[in-house]
């Protein structure tokens, strides 16, 4: 039967070969995009794994025996500051199993012209230490490694703007194993134990962490498990469901002709098992060929996908790889799915071969098909009333709710199509519209099947853009004005207690710092902010307490944080960290400090007002960072806004991926469906032409048969997507849905117009397939 199935699959001449080719190409598109989706998921995990070593100073798993003697810390060169940091959670360690001494480790964040730089300062406490990935030896004091992208920036910029921040000289380039992506800006800088340990945030680590961030509870760099789950959920919901529709549609090409052929085989004595075997061979042949051809589109778009910053970092092209189980699952699963689809399509032949030729009108779809859609929306309402506490519970709840909604749209589509067709038939008097409405009412399932992929794409796109647009609007909201963008702010304090200052701040300003900063071209003013021993009550606007003190000449020169009362030498200030608020017109109360007293106080913030030129900002940043090394180096307030919006940029990238991927998939599915429907109905259309119906009227009938379910169900899908997005935002983020903007409506209009254009592109087939010879009795 296998040989007979192969022979029947190709024995129909050019039409059979064309059917196999179209099916294989459509399956290849779907499989290629599935390959690309899986490769992108693998790349996310691979990229995330390269963040592991940078978390060595954060994970408790890398910290050593808490019972070590404090004297060991002093012997390693740690002073009181380092001892305090160790007591906070970074206890000292002895050599590891390989004889490596612990490392002093400081993870820092820096910036250059708006780009974020990750910097790791290390110092060995013995002759050898654990080796980070990407290097062949540890950098000694005065040595450093840079990533290729950062080395390129450092070579192009004047040393005082970037390279001088690292000190000493570069001894090499960080290898790929240490970098998340090709554009990563990372520095590994060597220092002495005395220098590294005195900076708050430095810890002693016994080994280099290798656990990926998504499996590490204490890691802070990289994508946590809920972030990876979010990416997988969005990609799966946006791509996999439409792709399955495309593959299923492709394997149903010429289903009517095959049913007739298999019915004839049954009538001449073939058993149901033999017919099923022949059908399976024919379906599996085209699907298997398409699955193998799926490597071509995957390889074609692989480089483009690598350039997408899906996680705010570009991928290495080599990271977009497939595992052997994934390849095997698709190469075997797609033909198997085609066989199952063919088996389902033969159910009428198995029951009654004559029923195929008689074409009994199928039962109309019932209203129960709307139940899954309503159940998905009801689940979102339930999550609004009773929200899960855990992240896994939230993921399961929302994933099942949106899965039900997508399944509900697919199931409810035929019923909605039937209702729309019945309404249209009662209200129209045009022949083409009446014929189309009657045909849709006769078999609404077939009518909706052609547009199901596009309707699902509209649902996914609407919900995704609604959620991401609202998140971007809410989280991207910034108070204050552009006058803050040229202000460089270095934060040295780590927080405050209810009793007053948490004393983790910088020492007094080193001699010459202010004068050196003012000598930089483009620097207008500087401001040193000093902490107070206790909170001081003040009554200015809505501020009732102050915890900092500043010199009035410096405050007045900077301007954006307000000014002093007339005649005052120093003033109380609540916090310059509230830079998103405009205090420029505020007069702060006088403080009883002389310039000499302020000069010996520690510094909690260094503020530099510039003209906004990159040279001035970067030279000032280098000087401040050298004077006050900190975990978070100086940033302008505009860079701070950009940093806080980096996660939103990742979400927006996901939205773009959804739009760019789902519409082409839906378009391919629509084109295949309409072409297949024309092929299946060529004999009825030929009879209509013989009875005097013009070709133009037939074209209007075909257009109406596709446009009615497309527009009717799309309206429901868009409304459902907006409602689902609003329920999700209310329950998960406490936001209400914002306006989706002109871009969304243009995208929807463009998608619908494009769909109608795809339908129109298939209409010339009518002339070729509705000739008199097609109307002969078979």
- Name every residue whose Cβ is closer than 8 Å to that of residue 285 and which is 6 or more positions away in sequence: 5, 6, 9, 20
Instruction: Say what the pLDDT of residue 94 is.
Output: 56
- Residue 517: pLDDT band by 50, 70, 90 thresholds? very high
Alpha helices in 255-308 (DSSP H): 255-267, 272-293, 295-306
- The stretch 247-256 carries a mean pLDDT of 63
- Residue 682: pLDDT band by 50, 70, 90 thresholds? confident
Instruction: Say what the pLDDT of residue 669 is.
Output: 75
Of 14 and 31, more confident: 31
Instruction: Say what the pLDDT of residue 496 is.
Output: 40
SS in 3 state form for 700-759?
A: HHHHHHHHHHHHHHHHHHHHHHHHHHHHHHHHHHCCCCCCCHHHHHHHHHHHHHHHHHHH
Beta bridge partners of 551: 570
Write the DSSP assignment of 27-95 as a string of letters: HHHHHHHHHHHHHHHHHHHHHHHTTGGGGTTT-GGG---TTS-HHHHHHTT--HHHHHHHHTT------
Distances (CA, A) of 100 to 28, 131, 133, 206, 475: 53, 9, 15, 8, 45
Q: Check pLDDT > 70 for residue 301.
A: yes
- The stretch 16-30 carries a mean pLDDT of 78
DSSP code for 160: G
Buried b / exposed e along 370-398 (16+ C-beta atoms within 10 A): bebbeebbebbeebeeeeeeeeeebbebb
DSSP code for 776: S
Question: At residue 468, what are phi and psi to the nearest 5 degrees?
Answer: -70, -40
Instruction: Say what the pLDDT of residue 73 is.
Output: 36
- Residue 398: pLDDT band by 50, 70, 90 thresholds? confident
Burial class (CB in 10 A: 0-12, 13-18, 19+), 418: buried
Q: In what order do the strands lie in the sheet with 186-190?
A: 169-173, 143-146, 186-190, 115-124, 103-112, 203-205
CA angle at 473 for the pair 472 and 476, rounded to the nearest 5°: 70
- Name every residue whose Cβ is closer than 8 Å to that of residue 620 and which is 6 or more positions away in sequence: 488, 517, 520, 523, 608, 610, 634
> Which 3 state secondary structure label does DSSP give 100?
coil
Q: Check pLDDT > 70 for residue 313.
A: yes
- The stretch 682-689 carries a mean pLDDT of 78
Q: Check pLDDT > 60 for residue 770.
A: yes
Buried b / exposed e along 570-599 (16+ C-beta atoms within 10 A): bbbbbbbeebeebbeeeebbbbebeeeebe
Lowest mean pLDDT among 219-228, 342-351, 464-473: 342-351
Q: Check pLDDT > 90 for residue 364.
A: no
The structure's pTM equals: 0.71
Instruction: Say what the pLDDT of residue 74 is.
Output: 36
Q: What is the mean pLDDT of the chain?
A: 79
Of 259 and 315, more confident: 315
Spatial distance between the Cα atoms of 603 and 110, rounded to a whole number of angstroms: 19
* Share of residues in the chain with pLDDT > 90 (%): 26
- The stretch 623-627 carries a mean pLDDT of 90
> Which 3 state secondary structure label does DSSP give 375?
helix
Lowest mean pLDDT among 209-213, 547-551, 603-607, 724-728: 209-213
Tokens describing residue 469:
């647009």
Burial class (CB in 10 A: 0-12, 13-18, 19+), 242: buried
Instruction: Read off the pLDDT of residues 520-542 as tens digits, 9 standing for 90 and up.
Output: 999 999 999 998 888 888 877 76
Q: Check pLDDT > 90 for residue 34.
A: no
Lowest mean pLDDT among 290-304, 485-499, 744-758: 485-499
Instruction: Say what the pLDDT of residue 92 is.
Output: 42
Instruction: Read off the pLDDT of residues 37-76 as tens digits, 9 standing for 90 and up.
Output: 788 888 888 888 899 899 888 764 444 433 333 333 333 3
SS in 3 state form for 560-628?
A: CCCEECCCCCEEEECCCCCCCCCCCCCEECECCCCHHHHHCCCECEEEEEECCCHHHHHHHHHHHHHHC
- Residue 251: pLDDT band by 50, 70, 90 thresholds? low
């Amino acid at each position: 039967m296998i040989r007979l199935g192969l022979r029947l699959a190709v024995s129909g001449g050019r039409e059979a070969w064309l059917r196999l080719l179209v099916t294989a190409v459509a399956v290849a598109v779907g499989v290629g995009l599935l390959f690309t989706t899986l490769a992108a998921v693998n790349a996310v995990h691979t990229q995330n794994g390269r963040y592991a070593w940078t978390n060595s100073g954060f994970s408790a798993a890398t910290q050593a025996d808490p019972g070590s003697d404090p004297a060991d810390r002093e012997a390693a060169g740690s002073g009181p500051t380092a001892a305090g940091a160790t007591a906070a959670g970074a206890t000292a360690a002895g050599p590891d199993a390989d004889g490596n001494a612990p490392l002093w480790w400081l993870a820092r964040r820096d910036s250059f012209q708006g780009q974020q730089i990750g910097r790791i300062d290390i110092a060995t406490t013995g002759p050898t230490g654990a080796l980070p990935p990407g290097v062949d030896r540890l950098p000694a004091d005065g040595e450093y490694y840079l990533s290729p992208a950062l080395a390129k920036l450092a070579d192009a910029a004047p040393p005082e703007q970037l390279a001088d921040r690292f000190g000493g000289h570069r001894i090499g380039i960080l290898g790929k194993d240490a970098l998340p992506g090709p554009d990563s800006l990372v520095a590994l800088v060597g220092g002495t134990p005395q220098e590294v340990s005195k900076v708050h945030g430095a810890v002693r680590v016994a080994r280099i962490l290798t656990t990926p961030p998504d499996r590490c509870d204490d890691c802070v760099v990289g994508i946590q498990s809920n972030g990876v789950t979010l990416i997988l959920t969005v990609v799966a919901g946006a791509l996999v469901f439409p792709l399955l529709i495309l593959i299923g549609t492709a394997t149903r090409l010429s289903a009517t002709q095959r049913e007739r052929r298999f019915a004839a085989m049954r009538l001449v004595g073939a058993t149901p098992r033999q017919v099923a075997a022949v059908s399976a061979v024919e379906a599996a042949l085209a699907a298997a060929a398409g699955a193998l051809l799926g490597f071509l589109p995957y390889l074609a778009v692989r480089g483009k996908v690598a350039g997408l910053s899906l996680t705010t970092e570009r991928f290495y092209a080599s990271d977009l790889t497939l595992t052997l189980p994934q390849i095997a699952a698709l190469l075997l699963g797609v033909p198997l799915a085609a066989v199952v689809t063919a088996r389902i399509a033969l159910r009428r032949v198995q029951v009654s071969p004559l029923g195929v030729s008689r074409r009994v009108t199928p039962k109309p779809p019932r209203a129960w098909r709307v139940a899954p859609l309503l159940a998905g929306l009801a689940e979102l309402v339930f999550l609004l009333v009773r929200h899960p506490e855990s992240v896994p519970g939230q993921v399961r709840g929302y994933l099942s709710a949106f899965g039900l909604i997508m399944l509900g749209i697919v199931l409810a589509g035929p019923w909605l199509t039937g209702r729309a067709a019945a309404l249209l038939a009662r209200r129209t008097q045009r022949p083409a519209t009446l014929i189309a409405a009657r045909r849709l009412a006769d078999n609404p399932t077939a009518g909706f099947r052609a547009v199901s992929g596009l309707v699902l794409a509209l649902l996914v796109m609407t919900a995704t853009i609604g959620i991401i647009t609202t998140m971007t609007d809410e989280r991207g909201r910034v108070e204050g004005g552009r006058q803050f963008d040229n202000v460089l702010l270095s934060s040295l304090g780590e927080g405050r207690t209810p009793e007053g200052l948490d004393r983790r701040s910088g020492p007094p300003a080193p001699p010459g710092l202010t004068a050196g900063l003012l000598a930089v071209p483009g620097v207008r003013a500087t401001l040193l902010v000093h902490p107070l021993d206790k909170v001081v009550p003040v009554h200015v606007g809505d501020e009732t307490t102050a915890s900092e003190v500043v010199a009035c000449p410096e405050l007045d020169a900077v301007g954006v944080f307000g000014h002093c009362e007339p005649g005052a030498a120093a003033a109380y200030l609540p916090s310059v960290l509230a830079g998103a608020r405009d205090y420029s017109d505020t007069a702060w109360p006088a403080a009883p400090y002389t310039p000499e007293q302020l000069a010996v106080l520690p510094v909690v913030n260094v503020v530099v007002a510039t003209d906004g030129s990159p040279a001035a900002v970067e030279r000032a940043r280098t000087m401040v960072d050298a004077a006050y090394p900190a975990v978070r180096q100086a940033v302008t307030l505009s860079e701070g806004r950009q940093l806080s919006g980096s996660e939103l940029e990742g979400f927006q990238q996901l939205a773009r991926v959804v739009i760019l991927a789902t519409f082409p998939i839906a378009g391919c599915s629509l084109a295949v469906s309409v072409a297949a429907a024309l092929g299946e109905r060529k004999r009825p259309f030929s009879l209509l032409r013989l009875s005097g119906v013009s070709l133009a009227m037939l074209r209007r009938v075909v257009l109406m048969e596709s446009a009615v379910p497309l527009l009717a169900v799309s309206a429901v899908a868009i409304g459902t997507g907006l409602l689902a997005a609003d329920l999700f935002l209310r329950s998960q983020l406490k936001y209400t849905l914002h306006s989706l903007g002109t871009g969304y409506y243009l995208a929807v209009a463009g998608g619908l117009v494009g769909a109608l254009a795809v339908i129109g592109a298939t209409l010339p087939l009518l002339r070729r397939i509705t000739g008199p010879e097609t109307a002969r009795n078979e």
